[in-house]
Amino acid sequence: MKILISGSTGLVGSALVDALKSTGHETVRLVRSRPSGTQSGAGLASWDPASGQLDPSSLQGLDAAIHLAGENIAAKRWTPEQKNRIRESRVAGTRLLAEALASLANPPKTLVCSSAVGFYGDRADERLNEDSPPGSGFLADVCRDWEEAAKPAADRRVRVVHLRIGVVLAAHGGALGKMLAPFRLGIAGVIGSGNQYMSWISLDDLVKATIFALSRDTLRGPVNAVAPNPVTNREFTKTLGRVLRRPTVLPMPAFAARLAFGEMADGLLLASTRVEPRRLSENGYRFSFPELEAALRHAVCS
């Protein structure tokens, strides 16, 4: 297949490009600027989601598209300006791509869009699946609008899959990459009560699940891209400490998290989402790393 990928230089996108190429697929990277001297069609297409620029002619001949691009939600404190950048990078970017694909005489068969388990909001220990209603709060609102922005493609009968992604486990980036330094120094511990659930997935499984979503015509709409065994923050902390052979005795109380991170603390660190990958499991996907300790050892030690 010829597959367009946005966000191809990020943690997930770069691993996905390598996996697709290794299995014989042709990839076209949707980038904000091409290196000098390169032309559209040389494995690259350009866009500027901030200004709404995307030439549909550069998207001709695609079999599928995978949309991963978006502002990092944990990169900066959530000021009003940063929250607007997060929202616009996801909602406006997705709408721009969906409209461009929908305008083609022969649009691709499938569009896989990243979303997030933030769709469900803070739900304590409630078990959540793809049929659960959205939650409330900034991330839930963004995720709902983000998924809705792909409607122009769905209206052209493109099969749209929204991957609601959990915490991605990879030592070289993402949330785990940021955690490793304090854990290795022995200055980490539970956050808040430690009872909040974390829905996670190994990078390997996320790449495999994305490719799985491309190949399964029975998958459409929301698909939870999480491992089948979510854990509490306390369980995650103890497990990572055990893997690294370091103590985890310095907790971060909720008030300290809010002082350090502001609104982001409630949206990311203290919120509880206990999410199940029902649709992946029902469609026959088999996780390489269904258990946290094995996933962490693979990420950190391999």
- The confidence score (pLDDT) of residue 34 equals 58
Residue 302 has a pLDDT of 76
CATH classification of the domain holding 77: 3.40.50.720
In a domain, 236, yes or no: no
**Per-residue pLDDT at 175:** 92
Helix 174-184 and helix 233-244: axis angle, to 10°? 60
- Report the C-alpha gap between 165 and 43 in whole angstroms: 27
Residue 239 lies in a domain: no
Whether residue 134 is predicted with pLDDT greater than 80 in this model: the reply is yes
Range(s) of the domain holding residue 42: 2-166+200-228+275-288
Q: What is the pLDDT of residue 36?
A: 47
Taking the C-alpha atoms of residue 144 and residue 140, their distance in angstroms, rounded to an integer, is 6
- For residues 292 and 231, is the Cβ–Cβ distance under 8 A? yes
Could you tell me if 151 and 98 are in contact, meaning their C-beta atoms sit under 8 angstroms apart?
Answer: yes
- 3-state class of 146 per DSSP? helix
pTM for this prediction: 0.95
Q: Is the residue at 262 inside a domain?
A: no
d(CA 4, CA 1): 10
What pLDDT, on a 0 to 100 scale, did the predictor assign at position 277? 98
Q: What is the pLDDT of residues 209-238, one digit of tens each?
A: 999 999 999 999 999 999 999 999 999 999
Asked if 174 contacts 184 with a C-beta cutoff of 8 angstroms, the reply is no
Does residue 192 sit within a domain? no
The answer to whether residues 242 and 167 touch, using CB atoms and an 8 Å cutoff, is no
What is the tens place of the pLDDT at every residue in 90-133? 999 999 999 999 999 999 999 999 999 999 999 999 999 999 99
Q: Which amino acid is at 210?
A: T
pLDDT at 39 exceeding the cut of 60: no
Distance, in Å, from the CA atom of 289 to the CA atom of 68, rounded to the nearest integer, reads 22
Please check whether residue 24 lies inside any domain of the structure: yes
Residue 91 covered by a domain = yes
Long-range contacts of 250-256 (CB under 8 A, 24+ apart): 250/186, 250/187, 250/188, 250/189, 251/189, 251/190, 251/191, 251/194, 252/189, 252/190, 252/191, 252/192, 253/192, 254/191, 254/192, 254/193
User: What does the alpha-carbon distance between residue 157 and residue 98 come to, in Å, rounded to a whole number?
Assistant: 12
224 lies in a domain? yes
| Domains: count for the chain | 1
Give the residue among 175, 199, 176, 174 at the shortest CA–CA distance from 280: 199
Distances (CA, A) of 145 to 160, 225, 302: 15, 19, 38
Q: How far is the CA of 215 from the CAs of 63, 159, 284, in angstroms?
A: 11, 11, 12
Is 259 inside a domain boundary?
A: no
For the purposes of burial, counting CB atoms within 10 Å of the CB of 178, is it exposed (0-12), middle (13-18) or buried (19 or more)?
A: exposed
